[in-house]
Amino acid sequence: MKPKTGVVGLGIMGRPIAANLLKAGYELTVFNRTAAKADAFVAAVGGRKGQTPAEVASAADVVITMVSDSADVEQVVLGPNGIIEGARAGQVLIDMSTISPAVTRAIGARLLEKGVEMLDAPVSGGEKGAVAGTLTIMVGGKPAVFETCRPIFEALGKTITHMGQAGAGQLTKLCNQIICSNTLLAVCEGLVFARNAGLDAEKAIAALSGGAAQSWMLTHQAPKMLQRDFRPGFFVMHEQKDLRLVLETAREVGVALPGTRLIHQLYHAIEAEDGGEKLGHISLIKAIEKLANRVPPGAE
Ligand code: NAP
């Protein structure tokens, strides 16, 4: 029999994840801090609403959290009316948020005192991947617990990898963020260069997409940059949170990441704009345009 599931956090990512669990035939209870979002989800998609994260835990065998930052996971798991209050031995918490590996391990240790297992399972693939059920999922935790939860991961993602013990999923996700943010910066620089040099930027994207410059960022994000579509799939504030986690962890493990630090700084220029932190992360191109002192005509 399929385990009963719960999802805490129905934001950009949590909502399609919850929808895919229902689609795969899992019984589902949801909670969202802003209750209206949970009501809208239940009305439009299905499942039932829990009044608190604790209530979701009492109703489910496997609970997924998809909230913002380390402190938010701590709050929904260990805080008042948190998951731990409704949890029982043998249950599993899968945290799919991107948070600190050290905080992940600490939360897992607290849950284990109650016999509750935890997997850290952050994702890549964005809102599109979450909707399509094609996420890349990087998992840390006990191998046997991972195997038990594999069918749930298969309902949500396509490339599912058990990376090692607790925290290994989060470390892999931070590695992903280093590579993605540096690739994004390269695409931003290439586009600003192309436009300022008088090239047809759309044609340049098409020409380069088949060669050594090809990347997911070039194919999927560059066209949106040209359309000035900065609506969030992934908020600037979450990108900055991830880069902060990367830089903190890099210090702990003793590596210098000059490229990533630069990108963190460039995003400060976007955050300084009114509402900048709620723009999509591809708005990084605006920082490069400012440095060139040349924003495309009619763009701003
Ligand atoms: P989002 O749209 O901002 O959603 C965040 C969710 O967390 C909302 O449901 C929010 O509730 C809830 N939340 C935040 N703090 C909370 C707290 N203290 N207590 C209870 N609930 C809280 O963000 P998202 O884009 O879905 O991202 C969620 C996580 O996935 C983040 O860690 C992000 O880095 C990661 N991620 C995102 C993407 C992407 O492309 N968007 C890709 C990969 C990974 P309210 O509705 O009440 O605000």
* Residues 161 and 19 grouped into a single domain: yes
* Residues 132 and 195 grouped into a single domain: no
* Residues 145 and 254 grouped into a single domain: no
* Residues 216 and 232 grouped into a single domain: yes
* Residues 158 and 182 grouped into a single domain: no
The average pLDDT across 3-10 equals 98
pLDDT, tens digit (0-9, with 9 covering 90-100), for 158-187? 999 999 999 999 999 999 999 999 999 999
pLDDT, tens digit (0-9, with 9 covering 90-100), for 180-216? 999 999 999 999 999 999 999 999 999 999 999 999 9
* Residues 92 and 161 grouped into a single domain: yes
Distance (angstroms) between ligand 1 centre and the Cα of 81 equals 19
Provide the percentage of residues in the chain whose pLDDT is more than 70. 99
In a domain, 298, yes or no: no
Distance (angstroms) between ligand 1 centre and the Cα of 297 equals 34
In a domain, 297, yes or no: no
DSSP strand pairing (117-120 vs 123-124): unpaired
- β-bridge mates for residue 136, sequence order: 124, 159
| Structural contact between residues 88 and 62, judged by C-beta atoms closer than 8 angstroms | no
* Residues 86 and 157 grouped into a single domain: yes
> Which residues belong to the active site?
173
In a domain, 148, yes or no: yes
Q: pLDDT-based confidence at 280, cuts 50/70/90? A: very high
In a domain, 256, yes or no: yes
* Residues 123 and 268 grouped into a single domain: no
Supply the CATH number for residue 233's domain.
1.10.1040.10
Q: pLDDT-based confidence at 298, cuts 50/70/90? A: low
What's residue 297's pLDDT? Answer: 62
Among 165, 180, 196, the domain boundary falls at 165
- Shortest-distance Cα residue to atom 7 of ligand 1: 67
pLDDT, tens digit (0-9, with 9 covering 90-100), for 84-122? 999 999 999 999 999 999 999 999 999 999 999 999 999
Among 134, 165, 196, the domain boundary falls at 165
What's residue 295's pLDDT? Answer: 73
> What total of structural domains would you count in the chain?
2
Q: What backbone torsions phi and psi does residue 91 show, to the nearest 5 degrees?
A: -80, 165
In a domain, 255, yes or no: yes
- Shortest-distance Cα residue to atom 29 of ligand 1: 97
Pocket test for ligand 1, best of 67, 124, 131, 283 (most atoms within 8 A of CB): 67
Distance (angstroms) between ligand 1 centre and the Cα of 131 equals 15
Ligand 1 shell residues, CB under 6 Å? 9-14, 32-34, 37, 66-68, 72, 75-76, 97-98, 123-124, 126-127, 233-234, 238, 242
d(Cα 269, Cα 284) in Å, to the nearest integer? 9
In a domain, 58, yes or no: yes
Supply the CATH number for residue 105's domain.
3.40.50.720
Distance (angstroms) between ligand 1 centre and the Cα of 51 equals 18
* Residue 37 lies in domain: 5-165
Pocket test for ligand 1, best of 68, 159, 172 (most atoms within 8 A of CB): 68
Q: Is the pLDDT of residue 299 over 70?
A: no
In a domain, 44, yes or no: yes
Sign for the CA dihedral angle at 275, 279, 283, 284 comes to: positive
* Residues 80 and 192 grouped into a single domain: no
* Residues 96 and 55 grouped into a single domain: yes
Determine the residue type at 185.
L
* Residues 213 and 77 grouped into a single domain: no
Distance (angstroms) between ligand 1 centre and the Cα of 68 equals 4
Distance (angstroms) between ligand 1 centre and the Cα of 234 equals 10
Q: Is the pLDDT of residue 300 over 60?
A: no
The average pLDDT across 142-150 equals 98
Over the chain, what HEC string results? CCCCEEEECCCCCHHHHHHHHHHCCCCEEEECCCHHHHHHHHHHCCCEECCCHHHHHHHCCEEEECCCCHHHHHHHHHCCCCHHHHCCCCCEEEECCCCCHHHHHHHHHHHHCCCCEEEECCEECHHHHHHHCCEEEEEECCHHHHHHHHHHHHHHEEEEEEEECCCHHHHHHHHHHHHHHHHHHHHHHHHHHHHHCCCCHHHHHHHHCCCCCCCHHHHHHHHHHHCCCCCCCCEHHHHHHHHHHHHHHHHHHCCCCHHHHHHHHHHHHHHCCCCHHHCEHHHHHHHHHHHHCCCCCCCC
What's residue 294's pLDDT? Answer: 77
In a domain, 203, yes or no: yes
Among 165, 195, 211, the domain boundary falls at 165
* Residues 156 and 221 grouped into a single domain: no
Pocket test for ligand 1, best of 33, 138, 172 (most atoms within 8 A of CB): 33
